[in-house]
């Protein structure tokens, strides 16, 4: 199992927890509790990883990648 780092802060203006996962564009979220934010970031990361797998597979077919 890989471990990913999430950067989390509590916004002083809204009181919301905001976070993102470095290296994954679009992997960010905001929630009212830290626990909800962690759940949301896990879902977001899972979706980003799946999207990247699909993009890599498509690029491999497009460029005739040899396995």
| Sequence-ordered alpha helix ranges (H) in 1-67 | 34-62
In this predicted model, what pLDDT tens digit does every residue of 15-38 receive, in sequence order?
999 999 998 888 999 999 999 999
Q: What is the DSSP letter of 24?
A: S
pLDDT at position 53 is 81
42 band by pLDDT with thresholds 50, 70 and 90: very high
7-62: CATH architecture: 2-Layer Sandwich (3.30)
Give the residue extent of every domain in the chain. Answer: 7-62
Radius of gyration, alpha carbons of the chain: 16
* Model confidence at 66: pLDDT above 80: no
């Amino acid at each position: 199992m890989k471990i990913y780092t999430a950067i989390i802060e509590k916004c002083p203006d809204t009181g919301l927890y905001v976070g993102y996962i470095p290296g994954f564009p679009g992997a960010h979220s905001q929630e009212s509790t830290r626990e909800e934010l962690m759940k949301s970031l896990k879902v977001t990361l899972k979706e980003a990883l799946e999207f990247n797998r699909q993009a890599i597979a498509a690029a491999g077919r497009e460029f005739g990648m040899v396995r």
